[in-house]
Amino acid sequence: MNTKRFVIRKSLVGKKEIINKKGETFKYNHDEVYKANKAKLEAMPCFQKYKSYTATNNVPSFAKDLLLK
């Protein structure tokens, strides 16, 4: 899946998506990032309200160790 920003969506959990940010050189396994940070994400107001977390400009620090090479 190509996207313009880093995104974790509840609707993508379990679909084994590999996310590729357009114009950038990083990819990540959506499910792995979600599993590793589930408690943190579920506690965020944006995730509770919209079932989604996005970062427009950078990879969040909690996901940097999970980027694919």
* Residue 36 domain boundaries: 2-68
pLDDT band at residue 11 using 50, 70 and 90 as cut-offs: very high
Task: Work out the number of other CB atoms within 10 angstroms of the CB of residue 16.
Answer: 10
pTM of the entire predicted model: 0.89
Give the count of domains, the chain: 1
CA distance 20 to 25: 8
pLDDT: which is higher, 24 or 52 = 52
Per-residue pLDDT, averaged over 1-13, amounts to 93
